A and B are shown apart, each in its own frame.
Chain A
C-alpha cells in the first residue's frame, strides 16, 4: 500500500468524485455529437488533475498495461474511511480518461468502490468503443488497481 508523503498532499486536490460526478460526465459526453468536442472535453478533464511531482512518477505507482505512462496513488482517509485517489499520465487523452475513472471512485468508501458497475459506466459514456483494446486494457488495469486498493482497505 502506498501512502502519501506530506509533500504529495496537493496531488489529491482534484474535483473528481465530488464536484465532477459520473452522472455529470455521462450527461456531458452524450451531449456532444462530434469527436472534436468529445476529445476536447476529455482532455480538459485531464487538465484538472494536479501534476505529480517527479518523486511520485515511480515504478511502484506505475499502472501496467498502458501504452503511455500512468501513475496512480491511493490512500485511506481514516476518520471517514474513504479512499482518496490521485492519478497522472504523460499523455493528455489517457489523463482525461483516468480522470473519468476517478469521477467514479475518488472519495468513495471501499464498499462503494467494489459495488460500482464500471462496465455499465463505460458503456454509458461510449468510452471503450472509441478505444483500441490495448488502450482499453490500460484503463481496465487502472480500475483493477483501484479495486485492489479498496479490497485491501476493507480488510
Chain B
C-alpha cells in the first residue's frame, strides 16, 4: 500500500513543488545572468543580492487585480492559462532525476513513472500546451494577442514536426522510448548519445528554443511588435501562469536534452575506474547540474541574439530543420541496420 500510493503521492508533491520553486528562481537567475551580460546588477533590493525577489514577484502577481476584458470569451479566457501550465508540469512525471535512492528503508526511484513510451509521452503532452497560447489569443478578443497566437500556433506545429522527426532518429539509436532506459543505455554503451547523434542534439535544441518561445524565436510574445503577444490582456495570477508555463517548459526541454544526450543522472565517465570518485556525488545532482548548464545556454542566447521574423522562422523550420531531420533519420536507420 505504501509503495503503491503513498510513495508516488509524495513524489508528485515533491516534484511539483520543486519545479514551481525552480521556475520562480529561474526567473531570478535569468534576470541576474542577463544583467551580468549587460553589465548591470539585476535585482538587488529584496534580500541579499535579490535572493528573495521571486517571492516578492509571486506576492505581487497574486495581489494584482485579475482583469477579464469585457468582450473576452470568459470561459476560455480562464481556461487558457491552465491549459498552458498543466502540460508543462505533468511532463515532469516521466523525467528521471536520478536512479534509485533508499529513503527510510524504502527503495524510492527518483522519477515518478517509468513508462515505456516516456519520450512519446513528453512530446504529446507538450503538444497540448500550444492550446493555451492559441486559446489565450482567441479569447482575449484583441488584435495583438490574435496575431501572436496565430504566429505561435504555426510556429509550434512546424517545429514539432522537426523535433518529432529528430526524436525518431534518436530512438533508432536508443532502441527504447523509456527515458530511464535511455539513460541506462548510455551507461551500457559507454557513450553519451550526443556523440552518436550530434545533429539531432543541435536540431532538438533549436526546436526546443522554438517550442518554448524563446529568443530568437520569441515571436509570439515579441514585446516590441505585439506589445506582449498572446498574454497582452492577461494580468495577475493568470499572467503568472503563462510565465510559469514558459519557464517550466524550458526546464522540461533542458531535462529531456540532458536525459537523451548527456547521460541523464550519470556522472561523467561512469565506466572509467579513475573517475569513480565522482560517484560520491549523487546522481540527481549531476542531473540538475547538466540541466542547469543547458538552461544557462537558453538565457545566454536570449541575451545575445536578435529575433527572427515570422517568415524567416517558418523557412528555417520547413526548409532547413525538417530536411536535416529526414536525412538524419535515414542515415541513422542505415547505420543501425548495417553496422
Chains A and B belong together in one complex: no
Question: Contact residues of A with B, CB < 8 Å?
Answer: none
Q: Which residues from chain B sit less than 8 Å from chain A, CB to CB?
A: none
